Amino acid sequence: MKRLLVACLLAVLAAPAFAVIGTVDDVPAATLLLPYFEVDLDDANGINTLMSINNASATSVLAHVVIWSDLSVHVLDFNVYLTGYDVQTISLRDILVGGNLPITGEGVSNVGPASIPNPAESYPFCDVLLPYSNPALDATYLDYVQLALTGQSVPYFGWDDDCGAIDHGDNIARGYVTVDTVDECHIDFPDSTGYFNDITGYVTNENVLWGDYFYVNPAQNFAQGETLVHIEASDALGIANYTFYYRYSNEDLVPGQDNREGLGNVFAVRYVNGGGFTGGTDMIVWRDAKESVTHGGYCGSYPSPFPLGQSQIVVFDEDENFEVPEGCTISPCDPGQTTNPFPWEAQRTAVGSSALPSSYNFGWLYLNLNFPTGTIWDPFMQNWVTAVMDADGRFSVGFDAIQLGNVTYPEFATDDCIYTIDEGGPVAPCPVD
């Protein structure tokens, strides 16, 4: 009976997950995105972010994790080795405060009865880099990471007192996280030349990762959770599409070489500011600046192309009335008067705040987040939106917004067609044989 149950389990686990490339859905993927994190660096009972990386396949997989600032400056990366059907839970406080990285690798990662052996040493350089010995980050490195993620000047590692994030006036680290399937252990970032190269690069198209995340705040007695953004890879995408890592794969002079589907550009999402949700509604928003951003001499300011704007925001109440929360009464608005509720790469914005004003307590938002930055895909921009509602000290909920549009054009993606790209997409479909 036990063997029969195991056989049935393996049959279920081996069943394919059906998904449509270009429609971001919760299926195993080659890249995971944690769209926003917060970690209180001073208070152990303050806000923290947890995430998990899971392997949906019976064979092992290697994942490369990158922690980015809210201005999309890479700050830290590390490797995670997953055996078949493995789960690795990560507390960002453990990393950013304790300096501890996930301990995985040959001899330390458990190999379960349903896992097909594939030693970590089969991945080049993993025998050198894994497992990490904790604390993996010494005091200097921890200081660098904390300064870089809180918008302070950084005197380490060639930063020359530059800043790499927005200073929000507190000691809370903010940013986002990406996780990619790779075929060797390494210490490069996605904007490193060669990261996506088909021959010499690291990234693979294995759609086997899945995961979730949680915001935990013991001091306020609540937690929220959602699935990570699951970004599938397909050879059918390529140069004709605005891919997830388009700006970085473009560094290799082969744009779209990452083969990752793009995210949404237009969203609809509910909000509640009152009733049972006394804490109101926040929008967690990740955006693609479409340009590689590095630390620079902008402490107290910000680099191009920030702050990011949008095409249109409309606030509806529950009786179909609507308002446009702009900061001016004539058009075009002066740049200083335009409402920009989501100006950075990753942020949390409260509905009804000065950044996103609304005279309605209950309703929904129409968010057209397309925004030109002077790139080939203008005016289109990929984004991700999640709503978080809470009643302080009682309960909370979080859910992803509805996608009304997506930047990917899978119908145009073939290997034997020349494309003309205009205003963010192919002018016409490629001929069908």
pLDDT tens string 161-192: 999 999 999 999 999 999 999 999 999 999 88
Residue 317: how many CB atoms within 10 A of its CB? 15
Q: What's at 167, amino acid-wise?
A: D
Question: What is the Cα–Cα distance from 270 to 321, expressed in whole angstroms?
Answer: 14
* Pick from 196-210, 313-327, 408-422: least confident: 408-422
**Is the pLDDT reported for residue 197 higher than 90?**
no
Kindly report the average pLDDT of the chain as a whole number.
Answer: 85
Both tokens of 303, joined, read 């680099």
Q: Which residue has the tokens 């990929």?
A: 382
CA distances in angstroms from 175 to 39, 81, 334, listed in the order given: 9, 23, 29
Beta bridge partners of 52: 89
**Is the pLDDT reported for residue 38 higher than 90?**
yes
Both tokens of 240, joined, read 């004709």
Provide the pLDDT for residue 120. 60
Beta bridge partners of 63: 80, 181
- Phi then psi dihedrals of residue 269, to 5 deg: -155, 140
Provide the pLDDT for residue 279. 83
Residue 429 binned pLDDT confidence (cut-offs 50, 70, 90): very low
Question: What is the Cα–Cα distance from 71 to 174, expressed in whole angstroms?
Answer: 10
**Higher local confidence (pLDDT), 229 or 334:** 229
Half-sphere exposure of 271 (CA within 13 A, CB side): 31
Greatest mean pLDDT among 12-21, 159-168, 237-246: 159-168
Question: What is the Cα–Cα distance from 162 to 167, expressed in whole angstroms?
Answer: 12
Question: What is the Cα–Cα distance from 313 to 357, expressed in whole angstroms?
Answer: 11
pLDDT over 90 percentage in the chain: 60
Residue 333 binned pLDDT confidence (cut-offs 50, 70, 90): low
Nearest 5°: the CA angle 313, 319, 320 is 40
**Higher local confidence (pLDDT), 295 or 83:** 83
Given a contact cutoff of 8 angstroms between Cβ atoms, the answer to whether 19 and 232 are in contact is: yes
Average pLDDT over residues 390-399: 81
Residue 264 binned pLDDT confidence (cut-offs 50, 70, 90): very high
Q: Which residue has the tokens 């209950």?
A: 362
Residue 117, preceding bond cis, omega within 30 degrees? Answer: no
Provide the pLDDT for residue 192. 86
Element spanning 386, H or E: strand 383-391
**Is the pLDDT reported for residue 422 higher than 60?**
no
Instruction: Kindly state the DSSP code that residue 203 receives in the 8-state scheme.
Output: B
pTM given for the model: 0.89
* Pick from 184-198, 240-254, 370-384, 418-432: least confident: 418-432
Residue 426 binned pLDDT confidence (cut-offs 50, 70, 90): very low
Of the candidates 368, 376, 370, 373, the residue with the CA atom closest to the CA atom of residue 424: 376
State in Å, rounded, how far the first CA of the chain is from the last one. 52
Per DSSP, the residues of 109-163 read: S---TTPBP--GGGSTTHHHH-SPPSS-S-HHHHHHHHHHHTT--B-STT-TTBB
Nearest 5°: the CA angle 350, 177, 131 is 145
Residue 393 binned pLDDT confidence (cut-offs 50, 70, 90): low
Of the candidates 136, 134, 135, 160, the residue with the CA atom closest to the CA atom of residue 147: 160
Question: What is the Cα–Cα distance from 51 to 212, expressed in whole angstroms?
Answer: 6
Both tokens of 233, joined, read 């890879």
Q: Where are the alpha helices (DSSP H) in 172-227?
A: none
Q: What is the pLDDT of residues 405-421, one digit of tens each?
A: 888 864 443 333 333 33
Provide the pLDDT for residue 420. 38
Q: What is the pLDDT of residues 91-132, one digit of tens each?
A: 999 999 999 999 999 888 888 888 886 666 689 999 999 999
